[in-house]
Structure 1
Amino acid sequence: MSGPSAIVLLPPRARFGGQRLPPVSARWLGRADHLPKGSASGERMRDWLDILPRGWPAAAVTRQRDAGDAAGSTWMRADPVYIQPDINGARLLAHGESLALTAGDAAAFLPALRPLFGDVGMPIDAPDPARWYLQAPPGSKLPAMASPAEAVGMDVFDHLPEGPDGRRWRALLSEAQVVLHNHPRNAQRQAEGLAPVNSLWFWGAGTLPDHVTARVERALTDDDTLAAFFSLGGASVDGLPQRMPTAADAAGGTTLVDVRHARDLTALDRDWLSPLLAEMAAGRLARITLDFADGHRVRLARPHRWRFWRRPWSNPGLGAGASVEATG
């Protein structure tokens, strides 16, 4: 089926709990095709991005976008974060844009951290105040860790690298935490009502891929990592607007829309799903693929409107083990 199409990246269905879709959208989704279950991890982007060698080397790809010098080295993100100790451990509460870091913050913190990481042969720098990098020699063995976006709100100790190799990184992290805890810049931030930077988050290790091709023509996202991958893959990348552009605005091809941050189903439907469905009903959009972060996927096309025997999709918040395809 030719013509413009849309891919919508959504949060896991469980996030919506008992919220219900409005009747028109519920009818459409009840008549959709259910696709094979995708991965619920970073590998799920493989359907929308062709990356060789396989993997998700986020640090190298974002470094290339930030500084243009990623080739020839192994990179790891060492992003500034705020961790709150509690009775059961420590939780990651803030990272990235939520810390409201400035160039002045980076200029204050990094000189104190450089001796620590320089002594182990991994210089640290920050071409962007929210994205800090470690540069390692080619072939360095670096731990695989979840992104801070995936771990926010969770116990930090569940995400630390394990084993003999992990011991080195845990020791580095502990030393970095001491440096940051004692840094006077944090007192200034707290006096301004801002969260302190009291730890780092190591993640995204890898080298710049040999090949990245976007399988969409345009991506709308506020996720810096996703934007970097799609940009490297040749897609046009823009920040997320307030609501879904029309098919005419999208200028044809396939547009990927990243609304994984959504929590309110009514607002999601009003700003994104209903406008897309209206475009499809009018014949200006050929198909829509909804890609949930729990791996569930459905595809809608205009001819599906004739599947009148199917019941509406009544509860998108059903758990991953439940069936949401009601065919009557």
Structure 2
Amino acid sequence: MSVELWLPALARFEPAHPLRPLLARADRLDDGPRGYLAGLTAWFEAPQPLPAGALTRELATGDAGDALWMCADPAWVEPDMNGARLLACGRMQLTAAEAAALAEPLAPLFGEQGMRLELTSPDRWHLRLPGDMAVPAFPAPEQALGENLLQHLPQGTEGRRWRILQNDIQVLLHQHPLNAQRRAAGQPPVNSLWLWGAGTLPATVATPLRGVVSDDPLLRALAARAGIEHRVRTPTPGSRETAAPGMAPTDAAAHWLIDLQDLPAQVIADAWWPMIHTLARQRPLHLSFASAERWELRPWHRWRFWRGNRA
């Protein structure tokens, strides 16, 4: 009857954070997976590497079908002495008009390769690929952020086509006048696309969960494919999606996953702590941190005063 909480890396929680006393009284479990993509495997059984493109396209538009899809997330790269580094990917705060303007010179480039660029949303783009196209493994954004891009581009003869394509994308976007406007406005440029998550929609996804609360499209896409309920934490204006920022403990029943791992620790203390505190008094909680540490907390553990208030 536990509720699963997915939290940021443990080091982000200061000693005075209200979560610390809970950990001091909880039972330490063996470490789980570390990081975002690995963390998803703790709750979902799906093909690996995850076909993130097909899953998120299906969640957004319902038209993934049996086609081969790939994420093409708007990104910001900056040159340095050793090449270039990926500094941001997705969530670039693009408007629909900005996304369309940036995509315009890219569409013919992809068309020459037999690919079709789809602007699923201003910040989430997809490539529809020919079904027989061989696609090398590309790392997810979390694996490449802050690192030299040359370390993560496909190598060898098979990867040459994709390295050339990546270079052409960056040349076209670097020259785009919109990026000069964004820099002048104090916004990061969108001067690259990060290609990853190629694959077709899996026939099935299995999970022990009954529902998830998350703003992460891939997590909610997995939940949708597994046939379980999924709610957003913060719905966008005009959205019809079910929100859950104030979900009652009775709603967060057995085997719901509440995904907070992308939030600052202070936001969790300010906005989510009342719900966590109430849940801790009513149901067993499994607390899984992005840095792999895990604890189990049961309602009666709050009487373990002898353990103190620091984990």
- Fold shared per TM-score above 0.5: yes
Partner residue, 1:317 = none
Alpha carbon RMSD of aligned pairs, Å? 2.7
The amino acid of 2:9's aligned partner reads: P
Q: Distance in 2 between matches of 1:44 and 1:81?
A: 23
Q: Distance in 2 between matches of 1:147 and 1:296?
A: 22
Q: Is residue 131 of structure 1 aligned with residue 133 of structure 2? A: no
**TM-fit CA distance, 1:101:** 1.3
On the 8 A contact 1:50/1:215 being kept in 2, the answer is: no
**TM-fit CA distance, 1:244:** 5.8
- Find 2:30's aligned residue among 36, 40, 48: 36
- Taking the TM superposition and a 5 Å limit, the aligned residue runs for 1:37-56 are 37-41=31-35, 42-51=37-46, 53-56=47-50
Rate the CA distance shift 1:20–1:106 in 2: closer, same or farther, 3 A.
same
Partner-residue secondary structure (3-state), 1:49: coil
Rate the CA distance shift 1:135–1:272 in 2: closer, same or farther, 3 A.
same
Partner residue, 2:204 = 211
Q: Is residue 302 of structure 1 aligned with residue 271 of structure 2? A: no
Q: Distance in 1 between matches of 2:203 and 2:105?
A: 35
Q: Is residue 198 of structure 1 aligned with residue 191 of structure 2? A: yes
Partner-residue secondary structure (3-state), 1:195: coil
Q: Distance in 1 between matches of 2:216 and 2:143?
A: 12
Q: Is residue 254 of structure 1 aligned with residue 247 of structure 2? A: no
Partner residue, 2:99 = 106
* TM-superposition CA deviations, 1:237-268 (whole Å, max 9, x none): 222259663303x263333222112333x543
**TM-fit CA distance, 1:308:** 5.1
Partner-residue secondary structure (3-state), 2:58: helix
TM-score by length of 2: 0.84
On the 8 A contact 2:204/2:225 being kept in 1, the answer is: no
**TM-fit CA distance, 1:58:** 0.7
Rate the CA distance shift 1:107–1:305 in 2: closer, same or farther, 3 A.
closer
Consecutive unaligned residues in structure 2, runs of 5 or more: 235-243
The amino acid of 1:260's aligned partner reads: Q
Q: Distance in 2 between matches of 1:267 and 1:225?
A: 22
| Number of equivalences | 301
Greater shift after overlay, 303-312 or 108-117? 303-312
**TM-fit CA distance, 1:150:** 4.6
Partner-residue secondary structure (3-state), 1:230: helix
Q: Distance in 2 between matches of 1:197 and 1:125?
A: 17
Q: Distance in 1 between matches of 2:179 and 2:204?
A: 41
The amino acid of 1:299's aligned partner reads: E
- Taking the TM superposition and a 5 Å limit, the aligned residue runs for 1:62-211 are 62-97=56-91, 99-211=92-204
On the 8 A contact 2:249/2:275 being kept in 1, the answer is: no
Q: Distance in 1 between matches of 2:176 and 2:124?
A: 19
**TM-fit CA distance, 1:148:** 2.5
Q: Is residue 292 of structure 1 aligned with residue 286 of structure 2? A: no
Calculate percent identity across the aligned residue pairs. 39
